[in-house]
A and B are shown apart, each in its own frame.
Chain A
Amino acid sequence: MIADEATLARLMAASQKGDKAAYNVLLAEAGMWLERYFRRRVPPHQLDDLVQDVMMALHNKRSTYDPDRPFLPWLSAIARYRWIDHLRKVYKHEADLLEDGDASVDSEEDVVEARVSLERLFVNLPAKQSEVIELVKIEGLSIREAAERTGQSESLVKVNIHRGLKKLSALVEKAD
């Protein structure tokens, strides 16, 4: 069970003051939250690297959290930023596909999490762009395989990935 928003905000505020016990709990909770957050948008074998990357970012940028504001929208902005950066780096063909279980919808996702979710970013992309980003950057297909699957030319797949990632990076803080 992951702690609620108010608890996380309280732990983060205490962490900024140097409370190591609070920070230890916060990192463990944030790790679990991030794991769930990325689960449907990152191949399983890359999940832990990305979660740890965001935890490092949380540590390095902890002063940018304003204790008067909610914690999860702050964490998810950082998570989205690192996720897009991660997608940009994934160019190699990755054979691993998402496991069936990873695509399940989490019934406990509340309203706040829905607003900050990664899905919210994808709905703002044209279908042709989100489709090829999903296939190449998340499911790990090659450019050629994605071209065959979607009916787009290989050049168009590359262009759509480039444009889609550029647009995603402009939408990091978008909530609706």
Chain B
Amino acid sequence: MNSPNSRKNRDSLIADLTEGLTPVRAMRFRDGALVVGAATLLTGLGVVLVKGFWFGMFEGEAAPFFWVTNGLLLILGLAAATAVITMASPKVGNRYDAPRWASAMLAILPLTALVAVLSDTHGAQGHDHGMTGSLAWMCIRNSLIASGLVAASIVLWLRRGAPVSTNLGGWMTGLAAGAIGTAAYGLSCPLDSVGHLGIAHVAPVAIMAALGRLTVPSLIRW
């Protein structure tokens, strides 16, 4: 079926590639996890150094919703980061369902916030929702900034790898970076009302996911 010419071309290509072979270090999941883990650690340190650490969370001042929100953000960040690190080494049979379920879990928070604000149960008790004016915007902006380093580390990892699901890779990069960055910023944010956490600490994840989908595929396509 192949012409002698094409056979000759392929043999020549094989000879060239063989001649140019150099040893390579296999990309393993743990290497990617270390890269993203280091970026997460640096982000956390940066947040604490620049914005300070809210010690109130360990002194009984934090509402349970604070722990629920940041716990869900960490779970989503972990699930999406695991998926996107795996994407660098493609394989027919890979599945990336966990971040979808974790995203659905996180989506409960803004719905809860909406219900809380509409019914004003917390407001009636004198709590600040932290949703108006500059407070919410400040948290959204700072969380987005805090997501940058993790996003960059994932993109670099994917560019070294061979992602074959580039659009999904974009979503997952944004989800992972947004969730981890927002959780890291949460170390310094003392606002723990349902309204604030459910909106201002979830919006950055959605924004980063959309940004990731729009910008990352062109950076990792090969």
Contacts and interface: CB of A to CB of B under 8 A. Distances in A.
B27 A28 contact: no
Interface residues of B, number: 38
A7 B93 CA distance: 20
Given A61-B162, A61-B222, A116 B92 contact: yes
Given A20-B18, A55-B13, A116-B92, A169 B24 contact: no
Range, interface on chain A: 35 or more
B90 A48 contact: no
For chain B, what secondary structure do more than half of its interface residues adopt (helix, strand, loop), or is it mixed? loop
B18 A64 contact: no
A149 interface: no
A159 interface: no
A31 B10 contact: yes
B92 A16 contact: no
Given A24-B18, A61-B222, A81-B164, A76 B24 contact: no
Contacts of B2: 35, 47-48
Contacts, number: 126
Contacts of A51: 10
Contacts of B166: 169
Nearest to A84: B164
A63 interface: yes
A81 B23 CA distance: 25
A23 B23 CA distance: 11
Contact of A74 (B1, B22, B28, B90): B90
Contacts of A66: 26-29, 89
A65 B14 contact: no
A55 B17 contact: yes
A78 B162 contact: yes
A87 interface: no
B50 to A, nearest CB: 36
B161 A64 contact: yes
A116 B9 CA distance: 27
Contacts of B21: 15, 18, 20, 23, 59
B14 A27 contact: yes
B162 A48 contact: no
Contacts of B168: 170
For chain A, what secondary structure do more than half of its interface residues adopt (helix, strand, loop), or is it mixed? helix
Interface in A56-79: 56-57, 59-70, 73-74, 76-78
Nearest to A175: B93
A55 B21 CA distance: 13
A35 B2 CA distance: 9
B18 A115 contact: no
B158 to A, nearest CB: 10
14 contacts: A20-B18, A23-B17, A27-B17, A47-B1, A55-B17, A60-B222, A64-B90, A67-B26, A69-B91, A78-B90, A81-B90, A173-B91, A173-B92, A174-B92
Interface of B: 1-2, 6, 9-10, 13-15, 17-29, 88-95, 160-162, 164-168, 222
Given A31-B14, A55-B13, A55-B14, 12 more contacts: A16-B23, A17-B23, A18-B21, A59-B20, A60-B222, A68-B28, A78-B90, A78-B162, A81-B90, A115-B92, A173-B90, A173-B94
